[in-house]
Structure 1
Amino acid sequence: MFSVALLSASCLLSSALAANITIYQQNVSFVPTPLPAPGPASNFDAIINQFNQLGRSTVWNLVKKIPFEGDNGEPEGMVNINEERYIVSGGLYTNTTVSYGNNTIINGTDRTPGAGYGYLAVFDGQGKRIAVATLTETAALEYHNGGIDYDGQVIWATIAQYRPNTTASIISVDPTTLEFQDLIHYNDHLGGIVHDIQNQSLSTLNWGARNGTVWDLTAKRDPYPQFSQPRSVVHNPTFFVDYQDCKFLGHSQTYDYRAVMMCSGVATYSNNVTVGAVAIVDTETLVPYSEVPLTMVSALGTPITENPFDVAIVNGKLRLYFLPDQHKSTLYVYEAVQNSPYEY
């Protein structure tokens, strides 16, 4: 194991920033080359068709359970690349946030900033670490690396303060080098993100996915780190679950060719009941077109839809990928094996 700092400019990103990277497997590429197409966006019609056959009575088969090496802190997002590589975003925290208490709000938020750093980790198909890249400075206010999306060229991510109603940055990461570029600075927390290549836009979600924002990548914006404003902001019309990690699907005839993404998330209700679900969601309105509750939990008792998620078609079948546990993380891969034609 050794540490390096990548200093050369990326061939994909201009003005790229060097990530501090720890290499665990020497002479092993971070991702396959040439870069493969994104699985969800390449198979979106099949994913949508199979997902829309699911329901509460669906029986799920655990086809893979892979422990991931190391202390992964709090994983937040995940990209599966042909089950050869898994790229995980998350945060490792050195000082926890603390609620101000008594419904106290200071500077628009309800807790102290805490401290830590955001990372991207690359794992092979057996869960062994290949590399871990630190993307934030030690004293950075923004250190919470949220959900991620891969578009076939770059990984899109958000790095935010770990508290609501604060600030965040949108970054793009070259998966071949893990160099990154700060692109957009925003005066709210951001978590999930997807990239619509056809419309040249980004859709992002704030704390609890209560608001969605759409960014036009062709529009002029203020230079970083000045705050930029999105093309639109919309309030999430559903309170079923809070989306935490999303993957862009495409413009499907099923939904009048509107852009849709698949999102996974959880919500805890006042009676301490936690509900998990996966949904197909409009990227601009956040209207859910189809939702499926999932009741599975990890071996440690964590709801399976907590944080990282991805979706793929493998051998013609829909697969869902989850990495729910903090610190000692295990990948759970499920296939739907039985569907009921009736839902009550």
Structure 2
Amino acid sequence: MRFLTILPLATCALAANITRFAPSVPLAPSPLPLPHTRSDGEAIISLFETLGRTTIWRSIANITLQSPGYTYEPEGIVRLGSDRYVVSAGDWTVPATSYGNGLIINGTDRTAGEGFAHFLVYTGNGTLLADATLTAPGEIEYHTGGIDFDGKYIWTTLAQYRPNSTAHIVRVKPTDLSQETVLRVLDHQGAIVHNTAKQTLHTLNWGSRNASTFAYSQSGQHGRPKHYKPKPSNVSPFASSIATVRNPSYFIDYQDCKLLSLASPSYNYRPIMLCSGIATLGTYYLGGIALVDVETMVPVAEVPITLRTDAGVPLTVNPVEVSVVNGKLRMYWLPGIGETVLRVFEADPRSPFEFGGGPQ
């Protein structure tokens, strides 16, 4: 692979670099596609409601993503039309290690480790177009979480790779991968969605056990009362959430989410997101997807996913995307550490009717 150009990104807080492998090829389509909330979100919700444990998932494509030249862990994925994928990924150079013996230091149980957060842009056939490094050497908030697209920006969290720590929230322009930090948060954060109707940001912490809501405005007054005057950097030391709720579901830990509806008529006009993830039950890894009320974290529909890679890794580890193609629900999964195959599956509407419960 030939490195053609390296360009600095303009940010308000972090230095970063972008490597373009095909400088003449746009990073994103123009105009940008509509987000799920303005295109297929309600159709996705309707089709999700037909899913069950007996749903037959048919493989549509296995897209091998061109290697960026290092072993990375994919965390989130956004599909910008049929010919662009943006993947958030981590490059771990020094692992975070447990202090051992139940020792807790400054509220956490392990060292910070070291690494870099990346955004990778691929064509529909898996050709790597760009690799943007979102964090500078020595940054301890280097773990990129799930990502979501609101029609203008791709949102992500950059966090310490340990619980009960810190993070910052970043928005990235798909057209040039320039980034801006808008909030700092006093906890690890993973998945994120942006409610453009209410101008709120919703994040999930380590294991998605708590969900926080932050006020967001493009004027720079984030998470503060209207009379608050931000510092010139527009980034407060730590933003105060306007609400934090406990996740009432222990079915799976959500790792990547997509906002589908700002006010779904199917669920009393509540904001609804689709989330994917896993739970560790002893030595068994349970995969699943769910429709979740963004503000209360109450799951309104849940479906287990038993699909796995040849190595036995559940497909629902980390990134998820979703679309409707020819009236059918499609899921996009990119599981595992160092995994380079994007797996596309379609729910067969002819799946057998599920009675449930088993014999009595």
- Normalised by the length of structure 1, the TM-score is 0.94
Distance 1:18 1:132 in 2: 14
Between stretches 67-76 and 148-157, larger displacement belongs to 67-76
Partner of 1:316: 327
Q: Does structure 1 retain, via aligned residues, the 8 Å contact 2:14–2:136?
A: no
Residue number in structure 2 paired with 1:215: 214
Match of 1:104 in 2: 103
Aligned to 1:264: 276
- Which residue of 34, 42, 45 corresponds with 1:45? 42
Separation in 2, partners of 1:42, 1:292: 23
- For structure 1, which segment, 324-333 or 283-292, has the greater mean C-alpha deviation from structure 2 after superposition? 324-333
Q: Read off the aligned partner of 2:352 and give its amino acid letter.
A: S
- 1:342 Cα deviation (Å)? 2.5
1:210-289 aligned within 5 A = 210-218=209-217, 220=222, 221=224, 223-250=234-261, 251-269=263-281, 271-289=282-300
Gaps of 5+ in 2: 225-229
- Whichever residue aligns with residue 274 of structure 2, its letter is M
Measure, in 2, the Cα distance between the counterparts of 1:298 and 1:69.
18
Q: What's 1:340 paired with?
A: 352
Distance 1:86 1:72, change over 3 A: farther
Residue 2 (structure 1) aligns with: 4
Residue by residue over 1:169-205, the C-alpha shift from the partner in whole angstroms, topping out at 9 and shown as x without a partner, is 0010011010000100011000000111111111100
Within 2, Cα distance between the matches of 1:41 and 1:245? 20
* Per-residue deviation, residues 199-233 of structure 1 (Å, max 9, x unmatched): 11111000000000011214553642500111100
Contact 2:57 2:347 survives alignment (8 Å):
yes
Partner Cα separation in structure 1 for residue 9 and residue 292 of structure 2: 39
- Higher mean displacement: 113-122 or 67-76: 67-76
1:59 to 56, 69, 91: 56
Which residue number corresponds to residue 12 of structure 1? none
How far apart in 2 are the matches of 1:310 and 1:187? 28
TM-score under structure 2 normalisation? 0.90
Distance across 1 between alignment mates of 2:14 and 2:141: 16
Q: Deviations over 1:50-72 (max 9, x none)?
A: 10000000000010101111145
For 2:19, the equivalent position in structure 1 comes to 22
Q: Distance in 1 between matches of 2:216 and 2:45?
A: 26
1:7 to 1:104, Cα distance in 2 relative to 1, 3 A: closer
Contact 2:53/2:354, CA 8 A, preserved across alignment: no
**Native 8 Å contact 1:276 1:305 kept in 2:** yes
- Does the 8 A contact of 1:298 with 1:325 survive in 2? no
Residue equivalent to 1:159 = 158
- Cα offset for 1:298? 1.4
Amino acid at match of 2:326: N
Q: Which residue of 2 aligns with 1:296?
A: 307
Structure 1 counterpart SS, 2:175: coil
Distance 1:18 1:106 in 2: 29
Answering whether residue 316 of structure 2 is matched by residue 305 of structure 1, we say yes
Aligned residues: 338
Aligned residue type for 2:4: F
- Partner of 2:42: helix, strand, or coil? helix
1:272 is aligned with what amino acid? T
Q: Do residues 168 (structure 1) and 180 (structure 2) align?
A: no
Mapped to 2, the partners of 1:179 and 1:114 lie a distance apart of 26
For structure 1, which segment, 141-150 or 64-73, has the greater mean C-alpha deviation from structure 2 after superposition?
64-73
SS of 1:285 mapped into structure 2: coil
Aligned-residue RMSD, C-alpha: 1.6
In structure 1, runs of 5+ residues without a counterpart are 10-14
Deviations 1:105-159 (A, max 9, x none): 1110010110001010001011110000000011001000000000110000000
User: What corresponds to 2:227 in structure 1?
Assistant: none
- Distance in 2 between the 1:328 and 1:55 partners? 27
Q: Distance in 1 between matches of 2:132 and 2:334?
A: 19
Task: Quote how far apart the aligned CAs of 1:328 are.
Answer: 3.6
| Contact 2:320–2:331, Cα closer than 8 Å, also in 1 | yes
Question: Partners in 2 of 1:328 and 1:7 — Cα distance?
Answer: 27
Amino acid at match of 2:107: G
Query: Per-residue displacement from partner, 1:64-106 (whole Å, max 9, x unpaired)?
Result: 1011111451100000112211100011011001111122111
Question: Contact conserved, 2:29 with 2:81, CA < 8 A, in 1?
Answer: no
Matches within 5 A, 1:140-151: 140-151=139-150
Contact 2:193 2:257 in 1 (8 A): yes
Matched-pair contact (CA < 8 Å) for 2:121–2:128:
yes
Q: Judge conservation of contact 2:73–2:339 (CA < 8 Å) in 1.
A: no
Q: 2:192 maps to which residue?
A: 193
Amino acid at match of 2:273: M
Residues in 2 aligned to 1:315 and 1:306: alpha-carbon distance in whole angstroms: 27
Matches within 5 A, 1:116-135: 116-135=115-134
Please identify, of 35-44 and 129-138, the stretch whose mean Cα deviation from structure 2 is larger: 35-44
